[in-house]
């Protein structure tokens, strides 16, 4: 008899465990919470099944009716009655499920089919209770969020995915009518439906990644819109405006008015790109305007924005919108001469006029070894241009030079000196060079004649080799192939413009330094110029100044810069000097020049005394 009673009890316990195992983890946690089990949220499914089975009280047949009636009402589609039953038996529904199993254990005559049906009814009641809890939780979440569409639930209670057919299928599986593979397949479908439902709920409540991405995009758009609105500051009547002027430096995403020269400074003014586009501003423009003085207690910006634009290159901004672009201007050979001769004793300028004349739009190289007097030659050229051609805008760009030479240039010439000494980083060298050439281009666009004296292009190439990002292609001497393009772009900007305007660039190039890098840089620029002035270290060591190698110095198309008669006399002079060695030729030329007051008188004397003259 004991064995007979033990067998149904074991069967009931096994069916209870099987029923609990068929429930989802979220349902088991809900049942454990109702039973007051602590720590259920962190338990695994197997542990929850064991703990819930141990906490189930045996209450006999009383717990059998409510789950069974709830299941039958669920199957028959009576949603309202089921919800009322669940609400009434909410606190004890999960306990009743196992209690009715215990009641069936006491009924020995009850067959296996009745026990399975009772277990299925209990599971259906649990599913209904879990569903009711989920619906109430969604309702509370929608009510708590102000922007949630509370009245537009995608899965209303009357059309819940867990319909009577689905519950019937679950009852069939629990009663043994389904095959062994059907529960796994249906359970997978239920999990997919639950995942879809949770994803929809998360999307409706704004918790999905897609929703968060949309919110972030909206915030970014609002920020960009706000910045666009603040790009053009509004000036009020009580604002105090301060005048500002400087050179415009346009970068990738912003622009500045450099008020302290060509390098960035603490008093620079910020210029919005909308103002740059609206007024047709370009890098290198000299602009004047006003900035707003910060109020007391107001957060101080690092750079005050430009609130008013008054002039651009000395004229109104409207006139600058129709100016031509430098790259579209037509380049020509130099046709108008820049005279270097000033006084009878200025031998440097007189030799340059004879051996390598300079014209407006010339692209010339002063090739010099160290200590050959290139700085003195550049100073003489600058002073000669100032005296003979005051209409020319003269700019002296000193890159990686000694500070005392910068001071010497500033005191001995009246040119605009733009300098970055050797104790500054390579980025400063490249910055002033780029802004200086852009400034010169803006003047040429206005029809002005500009002369740039660059000392020197070899050091500028070294600076770009340090500052420019590496391209991966290294030439001999450690020169990056990409580092040679910016200096060539700088040097190549020199040209004589058709119908007015010219940009003349005379740059020094170092040779015989013992550096392979300097040789590579010089070879890159060797064929780009149309004028070359060679200095000699041997002449400088013998203190023969100016140490100009007259035979190696020349100008391309020099016949465009002088008359035919002058050209013939100079060619005869060259034929005579080419037969002498370097030192003898220079000494002979200097001796003849010192006996005359100017080059015109010298040419007359040469035409009379040179063999082979007519």
Omega before 546 within 30 of 0, i.e. cis: yes
Residue with tokens 């593979």: 181
Q: How far apart are CA 50 and CA 557, in angstroms?
A: 103
Q: How far apart are CA 418 and CA 3, in angstroms?
A: 110
Residue 135 is assigned to a ligand binding site: no
Terminal Cα-to-Cα distance of the chain (whole angstroms): 153
Tokens of 463: 């600076």
CA angle 197/201/202 to nearest 5° reads 115
Residue 488 is assigned to a ligand binding site: no
Residue with tokens 């299941």: 71
Tokens of 370: 């160290």
Strands 337-338 vs 363-368: parallel, antiparallel or unpaired: unpaired
Residue 371 is assigned to a ligand binding site: yes
Pseudo-torsion of CA 164, 170, 175, 176, nearest 10°? 130
Residues 173/186, Cβ–Cβ less than 8 Å: yes
Residue 361 is assigned to a ligand binding site: yes
Residue 376 is assigned to a ligand binding site: yes
Residue 562 is assigned to a ligand binding site: no
Residue 360 is assigned to a ligand binding site: yes
DSSP string, 385-437: HHHH-TTSEEEEEEEEE-HHHHHHHHHH--SEEEEEETTS-HHHHHHHHHHHH
Based on the number of CB atoms within 10 Å of its own CB, is 16 exposed (0-12), middle (13-18) or buried (19 or more)?
buried
Residues 440/247, Cβ–Cβ less than 8 Å: no
CA distances to 95, 173, 387 from 119, in Å:
13, 11, 113
Contacts of 500 by beta carbon, 8 Å cutoff, 6+ apart = 447
Tokens of 392: 């020319």
Residues 81/139, Cβ–Cβ less than 8 Å: no
Residue 375 is assigned to a ligand binding site: yes
Residue with tokens 């609206």: 278
Residues 430/441, Cβ–Cβ less than 8 Å: no
Nearest to 287 by CA among 264, 330, 256: 256
Residues 37/90, Cβ–Cβ less than 8 Å: no
Residue 372 is assigned to a ligand binding site: yes
Sign of the Cα torsion 268, 271, 277, 278 reads negative
Q: How far apart are CA 459 and CA 467, in angstroms?
A: 12
Residue 374 is assigned to a ligand binding site: yes
Q: How far apart are CA 467 and CA 399, in angstroms?
A: 14
Residue 459 is assigned to a ligand binding site: no
* Residues tagged in the binding site annotation for ATP: 359-364, 371-376, 402
* Residues tagged in the binding site annotation: 359-364, 371-376, 402
């Amino acid at each position: 008899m004991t064995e007979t009673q033990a067998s149904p009890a074991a069967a009931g316990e096994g069916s209870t465990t099987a029923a609990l195992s068929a429930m989802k983890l979220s349902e088991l946690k809900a049942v454990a919470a109702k039973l007051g089990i602590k720590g259920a949220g962190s338990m695994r499914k197997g542990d929850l099944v064991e703990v819930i089975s141990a906490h189930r009280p045996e209450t006999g047949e009383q717990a059998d009716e409510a789950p069974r009636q709830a299941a039958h009402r669920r199957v028959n589609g009576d949603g309202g009655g089921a919800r009322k039953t669940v609400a009434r038996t909410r606190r004890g529904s999960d306990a009743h499920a196992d209690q009715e199993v215990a009641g069936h254990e006491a009924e020995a005559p009850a067959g296996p089919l009745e026990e399975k049906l009772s277990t299925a009814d209990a599971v259906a009641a649990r599913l209904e209770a879990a569903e009711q809890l989920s619906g109430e939780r969604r309702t509370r979440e929608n009510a708590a969020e102000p922007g949630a569409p509370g009245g537009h639930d995608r899965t209303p209670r009357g059309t819940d995915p867990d319909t009577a057919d689905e519950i019937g299928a679950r009852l069939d599986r629990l009663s043994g009518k389904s095959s062994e593979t059907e529960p796994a397949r249906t359970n997978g479908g239920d999990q997919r439906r639950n995942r879809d439902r949770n994803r929809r709920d998360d999307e409706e409540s704004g918790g999905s990644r897609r929703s968060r991405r949309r919110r972030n995009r909206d915030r970014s758009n609002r920020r960009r819109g706000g910045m666009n609105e603040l790009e053009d500051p509004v000036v009020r009547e009580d604002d105090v405006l301060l005048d500002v002027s400087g050179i415009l430096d346009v970068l990738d995403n912003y622009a500045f008015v450099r008020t302290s020269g060509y390098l960035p400074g603490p008093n620079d003014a910020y210029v919005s790109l909308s103002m740059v586009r609206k007024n047709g501003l370009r890098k290198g423009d000299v602009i004047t305007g006003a900035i707003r003085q910060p109020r007391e207690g107001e957060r101080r910006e690092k750079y005050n924005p430009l609130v008013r634009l008054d002039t651009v290159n000395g004229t109104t901004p409207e006139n600058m919108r129709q100016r031509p672009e430098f790259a579209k201007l037509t380049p020509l050979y130099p046709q108008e001469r820049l005279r270097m001769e000033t006084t009878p004793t200025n031998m440097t300028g007189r030799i340059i006029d004879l051996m390598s004349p300079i014209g407006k739009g010339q692209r010339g190289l002063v090739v010099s070894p160290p200590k050959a007097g290139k700085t003195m030659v550049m100073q003489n050229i600058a002073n000669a241009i100032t005296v003979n051609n005051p209409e020319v805008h003269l700019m002296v760009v000193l890159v990686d030079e000694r500070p005392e030479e910068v001071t010497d240039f500033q005191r001995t010439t009246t040119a605009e000196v733009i300098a970055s000494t050797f104790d500054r980083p390579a980025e400063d060298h490249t910055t002033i060079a780029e802004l200086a050439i852009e400034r010169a281009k803006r003047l040429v666009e206005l029809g002005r004649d500009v002369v740039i004296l660059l000392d020197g292009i070899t050091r500028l190439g070294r600076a770009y080799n340090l500052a420019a990002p590496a391209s991966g292609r290294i030439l001999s001497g450690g020169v990056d192939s990409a580092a040679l393009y910016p200096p060539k772009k700088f040097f190549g900007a020199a040209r004589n413009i058709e119908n007015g305007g010219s940009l003349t660039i005379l740059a020094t190039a170092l040779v015989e330094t013992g550096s392979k890098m300097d040789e590579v840089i010089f070879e890159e620029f060797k064929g780009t110029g149309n004028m070359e002035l060679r200095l000699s270290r041997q002449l400088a060591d013998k203190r023969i100044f100016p140490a100009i190698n007259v035979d190696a110095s020349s100008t391309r198309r020099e016949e465009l810069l002088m008359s035919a008669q002058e050209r013939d006399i100079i060619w005869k002079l060259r034929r005579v000097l080419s037969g002498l060695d370097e030192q003898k030729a220079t000494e002979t030329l200097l001796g003849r020049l010192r006996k005359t007051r100017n080059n015109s008188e010298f040419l007359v004397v040469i035409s009379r005394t040179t063999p082979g003259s007519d």
